[in-house]
Chains A and B, each alone.
Chain A
């Protein structure tokens, strides 16, 4: 079992995430999705990765695959500074509440999403939200893009140091663009 970085998120159950070590492999999974959504949390504008902020990698991912976007907390303002007007501004719990419903129309009103990526949410809150989706949204796959093991996600990154995370995100974006 891969332990989460923050022990408060330790799995108490049997069904846990698959840690995807290879960014190319994660890229393949994401590319299979028909209606992907990227949820931007409030931490991503503040995480600085040697020259770029985490939010910029998120923006690259959105642009590479044309993903729909949701800006939680007050991330909308920052996202607009990077040239993206988010498709929705539900807060983290609200977007998860919508995603539970297989018949929901999605943030672009084109049908519910089949794969949801999360970037920059507090790990404890994020893991709780992922628990909801694990139990109540079997119709979708969840992917966490932060450098922590998220036990309740479908696919998670490993616990990575900043430089490895940066490398991973760059590899992922490259794979999504190819």
Chain B
């Protein structure tokens, strides 16, 4: 449905179109299909690739329907349509999680400070909300404006969910366009949420060198009362910390966390500690070190009440998204709730942030009293494993395909090396011990094998500064900074957790800009060099060549993609306002940014990645992500790599597959590194920039594969692109494969290669 007059007026009012910070672009507050033509253009090159997890559909009572091969369901949908529907549903789940998180924060903060509370991200951040500006056309000034962002996202989500209903959308391509749209909205939602908490909780902003915070289960002082916050919403923890401070007891307690709440807690107070990512949730909670567990939302285990009961930890659930069937005591007086927890041992749900924070601060010292917190010793572990028959049933259920039986039977025999290796790769699902016919508590035995070292992480710094963008914009676009490597997402790692630090270091050493967030930012800090330094101590924290920075929790991912938008705006002077297509086209063709979600498991990671893809940022995924069922791939030799030369207004077949894929799963760390180096190549690279990028691609490829890349001919446009150190051998290789120079471009763009309302001149500045 095209927009009517009333709708246009509503949009103009929402975005205050008369404000003249920039002219309103072609797509203010786009609806589901307003950017469809851009999507279809992307999907023409980067075709959806499906690997169905289930051959059946069981969505409605017509089914189950077998969709294998050419079969259709009773409603007429085919297997591709069904996979597209899954993709849309994953994107919707992810976007909703961030959106509802943002909604909660905004409602809470508006209640506290009023809707006119000003957005101020400090002197270094003038372009405060690149996603809201680019997607909606709104330059938000207050909390009330942020609420408009969430309302816009909420509207999109309803529309998206409706399309997944039986007998609605059937085309896989249109499902993909819709999931790209929802992915885009997700970045708006994340941006809103992170700006809200940054201004509301006074998180660091406009500072690059944030402090280092304690990381790892070994960093927790268990002699103190320990509270562990699990999830992604730090609101309750901020109130609790305030109470500790008011009571003068903050230095007598340990405030710890798992997942993104932990990251955001350190942004509120760098004295708080991060235990680790989701993969260590079960392991840590099983130790019983937490005297009190506070759950909020997202990536929280569903069995925490059982875990807490088993170890004697107290539990307060604080989100109506995870109520656990607990008594809702929100309406009761604080003293009564404290009594219920401390005297009756009740686990409770408190939906009021301030009340939950105050109750937590009051109950912690009481519930901690007299609790014994002993880590399983080697002797105890051996005793626990003594019944192991090495039957291998545990191996069959391990989603990370680990050899648990060998490790457990070794523990039985008093040997712990294999269990230590297993622990490093374990994603903490607990399925193994559930399967064990001898009921061996395998996760508990890991306590005796795990390292209890202390690590550190740089506190999340929020948005990239405008002045940093001004400095690196040109080298990024010319290619002389070889790329931005964004390492993000969850902890479903295929191998050791240390791989994240190794990947980050490889690129930092090569002077890429390495940006981390969420669980990946934690994982990166969990490796020390010979001198005992983590990656955060070894590299500068600036958004610059060779910098390693942590932007913050999952919702801070919006600052990474926002930085790419800011390059288009601050460096290239392209207007952001309601100008999504032009900005995405700019990023796709000119900003060498690549995401790595090596352990992605959540629907949030899927929707974040999909949002990256719509704005032209490729994403590399670890092997588990094949279970997302959908990727966006090109076929370099077969596909058409024609773009428009924006200045000459000529279509040019570049023959260059850059970037080669938008979303790809790879199997090993080394292949991921090589793939990322390649995906940083952009058509806009100058000869000097291309030389540098190829230099890294060739050296990594040779190191791990033993030869020159066998697709090198695709990325050398002329002799000037050949890195000097490899000049001779590359020249010989190119000759052997019959390489010919490729046409040169002045300004690559997809605008003009498909039907669009955007004039080509819109990309020329």
**Which residues of A are in contact with B by a Cβ distance under 8 Å?**
5-8, 11-15, 41-42, 72-74, 76-77, 80, 88-89, 91-94, 96-98, 101, 104, 121-125, 128-129, 131-132, 134-136, 138
Q: Which residues of B contact A129 (CB under 8 A)?
A: 51, 626
A134 touches B68 (CB 8 A): yes
Contact present for B670 and A135 (CB under 8 Å) = no
Cβ of B667 under 8 Å from chain A: yes
Q: Which residues of A contact B674 (CB under 8 A)?
A: 74
Residues on B with C-beta less than 8 A from A124 are 399, 401, 623-624, 626-627
Contact check: which of B56, B396, B666 meets A73 at CB < 8 Å? B666
CB of A41 within 8 A of CB of B626, answer no
B506 CB–A CB distance under 8 Å: no
Chain B residues, Cβ within 8 Å of A77: 704-706
Contact B667 A122 (CB under 8 A): yes
**A15 and B69 alpha carbons, distance in the complex (Å):** 10
Beta-carbon nearest neighbor of B622 in chain A: A125
Taking CB atoms, residues of chain B closer than 8 Å to A15 are 55, 68-69
Are A136 and B68 in contact, with the CB atoms below 8 A? no
Check if B50 sits within 8 Å of A135, measured CB to CB: yes
Contact of B49 among A12, A88, A93, A104 (CB under 8 A): A93
Instruction: Let me know if B252 is at the binding interface, CB within 8 A.
Output: no
Most buried by B among A77, A93, A123, A129: A93
Residue of B nearest to A81 (CB): B706
Q: Are B706 and A80 in contact (CB under 8 A)?
A: yes
A-B contact count (CB 8 A): 125
Are B401 and A123 closer than 8 Å at their CB atoms?
yes
| Interface pair B668/A97, CB less than 8 Å apart | no
Query: Most A CB atoms within 10 A — which of B79, B396, B397, B675?
Result: B396
Q: List 9 A-B contacts (CB under 8 A).
A: A6-B397, A74-B670, A91-B666, A98-B635, A124-B624, A125-B626, A128-B626, A132-B52, A135-B79
CB of B405, distance to nearest CB on chain A (Å): 12
Task: Report which of A11, A72, A131 forms a contact with B667, defined as CB distance below 8 A.
Answer: A72
7 A-B pairs with least C-beta separation: A13-B55, A128-B626, A77-B706, A12-B54, A128-B51, A73-B668, A125-B623
CA distance A160 to B635 in the complex (A): 36
Contact B52 A131 (CB under 8 A): yes
- Interface status of B707 (Cβ within 8 A of chain A): yes
Given A6-B398, A136-B50, 20 more A-B residue pairs with CB atoms under 8 Å apart are A6-B396, A8-B397, A13-B68, A15-B55, A42-B668, A42-B671, A73-B670, A74-B670, A74-B704, A76-B705, A77-B706, A80-B707, A89-B705, A89-B710, A91-B664, A91-B675, A97-B635, A124-B626, A132-B50, A135-B50
Q: How far is the CA of A73 from the CA of B705 in the complex (A)?
A: 9
Task: Say whether B207 faces chain A, with CB atoms less than 8 Å apart.
Answer: no
Bound complex: CA of A7 vs CA of B629, how far in Å? Answer: 18
B231 within 8 A of A: no
Within 8 A of A (CB), among B357-382: none
Q: Report the minimum CB–CB distance from A170 to chain B (whole Å).
A: 24
B665: chain A residues at CB < 8 Å are 92-93, 125
Considering only CB atoms, which chain A residue lies closest to B705 in the complex?
A: A76
A112 → chain B closest CB, angstroms: 12
CA distance A39 to B588 in the complex (A): 32
Q: How far is the CA of A11 from the CA of B395 in the complex (A)?
A: 18
A93 with B68, Cβ < 8 A, contacts A6-B398, A122-B494 known: no
Can you name the residue of chain B whose Cβ is closest to the Cβ of A80?
A: B706
Q: Measured between C-beta atoms, what is the minimum distance from A106 to chain B in Å? A: 12
Residues of B within 8 A of A80 (CB): 706-707
Q: Verify B56–A12 contact, CB threshold 8 A.
A: yes
Most chain A beta-carbon contacts within 10 A, residue among B51, B53, B399, B705: B51
Contact check, A8 vs B399: say whether CB atoms are below 8 A apart: yes
| Nearest CB of chain B from residue A101's CB, rounded to whole Å | 8
Task: Tell yes or no: B43 within 8 A of A by CB.
Answer: no
* Contact assessment for B633 and A94 in the assembled complex, using a CB-CB cutoff below 8 Å: yes
User: B710 and A42: CB pair below 8 A?
Assistant: no
- CB within 8 Å of A: which B554-596 residues: none
Q: Which residues of A contact B317 (CB under 8 A)?
A: none
Residue pair A91, B667 in contact (C-beta under 8 Å): yes
Q: Does B66 sit at the interface, judged by CB under 8 A?
A: yes
Assuming the contacts A74-B670, A124-B623, A125-B623, asked whether A93 and B704 have C-beta atoms less than 8 A apart, the reply is no
**Residues of B382-412 whose CB lies within 8 A of A:** 395-399, 401
- Nearest CB on B from A16, distance (A): 9
Which chain B residues lie closer than 8 Å to A11 at the CB level? 55
Q: Does the CB pair B671–A128 fall under 8 Å?
A: no
Contact assessment for A13 and B54 in the assembled complex, using a CB-CB cutoff below 8 Å = yes
Are A12 and B633 in contact (CB-based, < 8 A)? Answer: no
The verdict on A93 contacting B631 (CB below 8 Å), with A6-B396, A72-B667, A124-B623 known, is yes
Q: How far is the CA of A122 from the CA of B631 in the complex (A)?
A: 18
Known: A74-B671, A77-B705, A91-B675. A135 touches B49 (CB 8 A): no
| B668, A74: Cβ atoms closer than 8 Å | yes
Give the shortest distance, in Å, between B3 (CB) and chain A (any CB): 38
Which of A12, A73, A94 contacts B53 (CB under 8 A)?
A12
A94 to B633, CA, bound (A): 8
A76 pairs with B52, CB closer than 8 A: no
Residues in A whose Cβ lies below 8 Å from that of B399 = 8, 124
Question: Which residue from A8, A97, A125, A135 sits with its C-beta under 8 Å from B633?
Answer: A97
B667-A92 in contact (CB<8A): yes
A109 to chain B, nearest CB (A): 10
Q: Which of A77, A121, A125, A138 has the most CB of B within 10 A?
A: A125
A13 touches B623 (CB 8 A): no
Q: Which residue of A lies closest to B636 (CB)?
A: A94
Per-residue 0/1 for B43-80: is the Cβ within 8 Å of any A Cβ (1 yes, 0 no)? 00000011111111000000000101100000000010
A76 B635 Cβ-Cβ under 8 A: no
The CA-CA distance from A131 to B397 in the complex, in Å, is: 20
Name B227-254 residues within 8 Å CB distance of A.
none
Q: Which of B626, B665, B710 has the most CB of A within 10 A?
A: B626
Q: How far is the CB of B93 from chain A (nearest CB, A)?
A: 20
Residues of A within 8 A of B49 (CB): 93, 96-97, 132
* Shortest distance between the CB of B661 and any CB in chain A (Å): 8
Chain B nearest CB, measured from A137 CB (Å): 10
- Give A89's nearest chain B residue, CB to CB: B710
Complex partner residue of B52 from A74, A94, A104, A135, CB under 8 angstroms: A135
